[in-house]
Amino acid sequence: MQTEQVAQKMKVVIGLGKTGLSCARYLASRNEKFKVLDTRKNPPGLQQLKAECPGVELELGEFNAQTLNNAAQLIVSPGVDQKIPVIQNAIRQGVSVTGDVDIFARSIAAPIIAITGSNAKSTVTTLVGEMAKTEGIDVAVAGNIGLPVLDLLQQPASSLYVIELSSFQLETTTKLAAEVATLLNLSLDHMDRYSTMEEYREAKLRIFQGCQQAVINDDDLLCQPELPANVRQWHFSLVENSAAEFSLLNLDDGQYLGFNKQPLMSVREMKIAGKHNVANALAALAVGHAVGFSIDAMTTTLKSFSGLPHRCQWVADRNGVDWYNDSKGTNVGACIAAVNGLGGDLGKGKIILLAGGQGKGADFSPLAYPLSTYVKLAILFGEDAALIDQAVNGSVMTIIVSSLEEAVSIADKKADKGDVVLLSPACASFDMFNNYEERGEAFVHHVGELH
């Protein structure tokens, strides 16, 4: 009788959306019986699920404890917090939890490069993928950057997988065993999900579980895991005299990306701007070197890579003022990186910063010092504009406006030749936009409409 009950148990996908849909697609391709749960009555991907998996069992609305307790396994989407009591209760009853990344890692034979960080993970993931292509490797790039990893299993197998992972994805990841893993940087983010910075860090550090090689940021103590002695480590740093294999070199004719204190290429040859992007380049070089990419292939890629949309993306030059779209800067750390990165090249007080939105419970006070150094005016908008204004506490001149369009208009009037206008919101976009992409596109549109 007990065996019969086990046989009737189904796997349960919790949370639809892009990842949940890919999990359902994967289970259906294996003819497995499963249910899909979502608290939303009309979650994204619902119509596509019904079209691709006709007859699939759906439970929409408040989670049913009995469904979870009787599940063969819970496959939890990144947007769903495992700390929800009904999920915790099912775990206590012995129901196992997994996620799409673990399922993917068990299903492939090729090596995985796994990349996480509070900021820049999409840039470094893309860079490493482009380096692999230049090297002539059959590579697939997926994960938090766009394509859900399980959708890769519907495609011909690749020789190498480069995967961007968020802390939410890593919460359900236990068997990744990446060939190379890296945590690029760590700053306060998602404090609406994590109770402490240490809890957030612990989620990020899961990326190193079972890895063969690790790439370590020597400039960020929070990114340095305790690793077994058999894990090969490669280090990167912006500090010239550091012991890192990949570091920034200051030579007579300028700054260079270096390997073991030998120059590889001039920073001036890179298309992506700012000190934060120098760190990204060094990280990508370290990751690529770990898996055997040639220096030539990597530097060739760095000379042609122009960056990603919404990530410190150059938009326009208006009357000698450069405009940059960093709408992907959805947390305080990202905003600081952009301000310091551009400000270090420009000098003091040359940036007009556009910031604001939903702060996700963040502490904005770390913005005060970089803004006081490099920003001459902060134009604040959105739900938490007043909180940012309060946190920077007079360290920089501020104006609070009611819309992004108004922010762009005022920035245009206040900017002088040689200045930079930077949209780097330090916040999520959901108070005014559907996502950061829509916010960035609105910014580009408003800049284009200026007369």
Q: Which residues are catalytic?
A: 121, 144, 190
Residues 316 and 447: beta-carbon distance below 8 Å: yes
- For residue 172, which of 279, 13, 394, 378 has the smallest C-alpha distance? 13
- Collapse the DSSP code of 89 into the 3-class scheme (helix H, G, I; strand E, B; otherwise coil) and give the result: helix
The CA distance from 436 to 428, in Å, is: 7
Q: What is the dihedral of CA 64, 65, 70, 71, to 10 degrees?
A: 70
Look at residue 53 and give its three-state secondary structure.
Answer: coil
Handedness of CA 217, 218, 223, 227 (dihedral sign): positive
- Which residues face 181 on adjacent strands? 114, 214
Element (H, E) at 213: strand 213-217
Helix (H, G, I), strand (E, B) or coil at 259: strand
Angle between the N-to-C axes of helices 275-290 and 332-346, in degrees from 0 to 180, rounded to the nearest 10: 110
> Tokens standing for 411?
């920035």
